[in-house]
Structures are given as structure tokens and as C-alpha cells.
Amino acid sequence: DAKTTQPPSMDCAEGRAANLPCNHSTISGNEYVYWYRQIHSQGPQYIIHGLKNNETNEMASLIITEDRKSSTLILPHATLRDTAVYYCIVRLAVQGAQKLVFGQGTRLTINP
């Protein structure tokens, strides 16, 4: 199973870009990288996902390296409300179904 490795915690100043790294060196060719975040025991919130190409939406950008072994989530202008645990997840195909296997995540703190 592809696994992800993230730093346990990061800090970022409000208004700056937050860059969250993720390693997924055993990812297979058809496995997607997903990012979710969880704010203080609420349900995880979907942020973005990608397969090979870089992706951008209204929340964030996802940069995937050419060899697909790592990726970076970028929050371009972090606010205090972006303080959360961010999960980088590889979606696995198992028994004909798909499942998300969450790692430990990165606790991102945005400081005023």
C-alpha cells in the first residue's frame, strides 16, 4: 500500500503562503493524491486532488513532482481560519473498491 509521510507540525505567518510537503514514494501509477484538512474535530474537509499534473482551485494549489514521489500543498494567503490538521492521502484501489488511508497529518498553525 502506498503510504504518505508528512511533518507533524508547521507554523506560518498570516498572509503568507503555507507550503505543506508530503512524500509518497511508493505510489502506483493510477493512485491519486488527495488533500483534506480537519479543523478541531469537525469532519475532514476536501481541499484538492491530483494524479500527475499540478492542480489549482479556489482553496489551494497542488504541485506533484514529475516522478510522483512527493507533492506540496500550497495555501497562497494563509488566514487564521486555515489552522487545522492537513492530511495528504493516497487513494488506494482495494478489493475492487477505493479507499482513503489517512496518515498522521501535519498540524498547521497560522500565527497572527
Partner 1 sequence: DTEVTQTPKHLVMGMTNKKSLKCEQHMGHRAMYWYKQKAKKPPELMFVYSYEKLSINESVPSRFSPECPNSSLLNLHLHALQPEDSALYLCASSQGQTQTQYFGPGTRLLVL
Q: Smaller CB distance to partner 1: residue 67 or 95?
A: 95
Question: Binding pattern to partner 1, positions 34-53, x when CB under 8 A?
Answer: x-x----xxxxxx--x----
Task: Find the Cα–Cα–Cα–Cα dihedral 85, 7, 22, 67, rounded to 10°.
Answer: 180
Q: Smaller CB distance to partner 1: residue 14 or 21?
A: 21
7 scored as a contact of partner 1 (CB under 8 A): no
Q: Smaller CB distance to partner 1: residue 43 or 112?
A: 43
Q: Which residue's C-alpha cell is 509521510?
A: 5
9 scored as a contact of partner 1 (CB under 8 A): no
**CB burial readout 3-19, b (16+ within 10 A) else e:** ebebeeebebeeeeebe
